[in-house]
A and B are shown apart, each in its own frame.
Chain A
Amino acid sequence: MMTQASPATRFLTIKNSMLGLLGIFAIVASQFGGGYMVYLINLVCIFTLVSIGLNLLVGFSGQISLGHAGFFAIGAYASGLLGKNLDMPFWLSIPLGSMVATAIGALIALPALRLKNLYLAIATLGFGIVTQKLIFEWRAFTGGGGGLQVPLPKFADYDLSDGRHMFWAILFCLVIGAWMANKVAHGRTGRALAMLRESEVAAGCLGIRISHYKVIAFALSAFYAAIAGGLYAYLVRYINPESFNTNMSIMFLAMIVIGGMGSIPGALMGAAFYVIVPELLRGFKEAPGLVFGLSLVAVMVLMPTGLIGIWRKFEAKKS
């Protein structure tokens, strides 16, 4: 069985070393790679942030959401509008914009308290669609279908609009976000969420207030999606309601399933798979979508617990 290891050896596990190597690779590639590669790396980091948050909701508390593109969009628009209309710097407008999304996430949780499984899926799907339509129709405020030009991301007088520079801001958010999610996942909140997923009845009898924790799970996951949305807005600097569609919500959900439920490295793997594999498939001129679809099927058939499942199997064999 597991023995008590010294803090140093516990930290220097193969898993952490691999994550470290991956981080170094991402940093090097983001600074020295071509413009498109930098964009892809930034996108992977942004989607990882969404996956980490969505995992708290889906992987831990066992709820489902088919509307997270809505929170991503609210984060993108709220921070973009704060920056544009109030001249707020991006490092302030993104967290403030995300607070808005978090509050909406908590409100969405209230009707969701009474819904389960497929019913919850449909209700959240509705939320995503309504959010997209609202942005579309509220032209005076959001620019509607014409889109929104987002100001330059500036830190003091330093311009971060180059992807290589924006990468540091994104990486900063990702590292802090992953660190915080890890604390939540392995602490009192994570245990309470997992217990309510296993059995709401048993969780209640153990003193866990169910409604409270469902709201927390929704609000937290909305917060992560919105931070990611804000970063996305300042990365691409032009946003349009078209992109925040149901397809995007399904993509977010697919990322955590592909990566592996309830795992933070899994969130990274799922996001990377979703961004990078289609790029690798560009060679299949006629049918990149077809091959990507088949690769999704293959992953789920061969690795039903997601990409992180391979890692877990390897670790189980080792011990």
Chain B
Amino acid sequence: MKLDNLQVKSVSVSFGGVQAVRNVSFTVEPGRIVGLIGPNGAGKSSLLNCISGLSRPDAGSVMLGSKELVGLRPDQIAECGLGRVFQHPEVIGELSVLDNLLVACHRNLQFSVLSEMLGLPSVRQAEMKAREEVEKVARLVGLHESLQMNAASLPYGHRKLLELGRVILLGSKLLLLDEPIAGLNEAEIEQLAQLIMTLRSKGNLSVLLVEHNMGLVRQLCDEAVVLDAGQVIAQGTPEQVLNDPKVLLAYLGEVVENA
């Protein structure tokens, strides 16, 4: 499958009188991992919400290939191949990990509520097929031994893996990862980083990664975009960007000037 560019063009967002995002533009080229970094309150989450359709920018456009995403509902954007992994994993506690993963097969299971109520054989077949798909993905993310467990008893790190499994099942071509490693231990971070690398190496995937951990940004990203006070202040390879005086200033404030 051919991957598309994600183009964020002159996007601005304001809440009341506060401009959270000002005229931000950047592109995620097909197959690349782009880091979106910046201090707290820089507008990263607001931007991510615009891309995934949770809020509407005041101005600008977000294009996936030739398709305009602004104005679409989140479920329509998901259907375009954009998968979002939330900072806090949203699992259904009383359902099994299997069922939690099956939620993401929603779009692929095209049958009506009525045929489901009647328990038609076609419904059963489609469910069986989705189950096989889920087992494959569970193996990939390392959850195949916990499939029957209640999601509520899943450790935090595994919940993040579950969320990642979901966007893979969704068939997303572009992943939006919002601080994927927050709250994880060293081993789990390594596992997640490896997983992202593996997914990318299989092709068919671009990633926009919001992250505070600069080590991870260096390790994973081909490119980084730095936001501060709603504006792009630097853009380039992680090395370039992390040595940029403007970026150091944004992160460390006056300390740099005094040094």
Taking Cβ atoms with an 8 Å cutoff, the residues of A that contact B are 1-2, 179-180, 183-184, 187-189, 191-192, 194-195, 197-199, 201-210, 216, 220, 262
Contact = CB atoms under 8 A, between A and B. Distances in A.
A204 B127 CA distance: 21
Interface stretch (B90-98, B227-235, B250-258): B90-98
B111 A188 contact: yes
B239 interface: no
Contacts of A192: 103, 106
A237 B76 CA distance: 49
Contacts, number: 92
Given A204-B53, A204-B73, A208-B106, A191 B95 contact: yes
Interface string B76-102: 011100011010001111110001001
B177 to A, nearest CB: 12
Contacts of A2: 148
B133 interface: no
Contacts of B18: none
A206 B116 contact: no
Contacts of A188: 102, 105-106, 109, 111, 116, 127
Contact of A195 (B77, B94, B103, B149): B103
Contacts of B47: none
Given A188-B111, A191-B99, A198-B91, A205 B117 contact: no
**Which has the most chain B C-beta neighbours within 10 Å: A180, A216, A220, A262?**
A180
Given A198-B92, A204-B78, 18 more contacts: A180-B117, A183-B119, A187-B123, A188-B106, A188-B111, A188-B116, A192-B106, A194-B94, A195-B103, A201-B86, A201-B90, A204-B73, A204-B74, A205-B77, A205-B83, A205-B86, A206-B170, A220-B113
Contacts of B102: 188, 191
B216 interface: no
A179 B119 CA distance: 9
A202 B92 CA distance: 11
A216 B117 CA distance: 12
A204 B113 contact: no
Contacts of B90: 195, 198-199, 201-202
A261 B2 CA distance: 45
Contacts of A187: 116, 123, 127
Interface string B107-134: 1010101001111000100010000000
A91 B78 CA distance: 44
A189 B148 contact: no
B119 to A, nearest CB: 5
B104 interface: yes
A101 B68 CA distance: 40
B103 A183 contact: no
**Which has the most chain A C-beta neighbours within 10 Å: B83, B90, B107, B166?**
B90
B84 A205 contact: yes
A184 B113 CA distance: 7
B127 A207 contact: no
Contacts of B107: 207
B179 to A, nearest CB: 15
B92 A194 contact: yes
A208 B166 CA distance: 13
Interface in B31-83: 52-54, 73-75, 77-79, 83
Nearest to B126: A188
Contact of B113 (A189, A206, A207, A210): A189
Contact of B148 (A1, A191, A216): A1
**Closest 9 A/B residue pairs (Cβ):** A204-B74, A202-B90, A207-B78, A180-B117, A199-B90, A207-B107, A205-B84, A194-B92, A209-B75
A189 B75 contact: no
Nearest to B123: A187
Given A180-B117, A191-B95, A206 B103 contact: yes
Contacts of A205: 52, 54, 74-75, 77-78, 83-84, 86
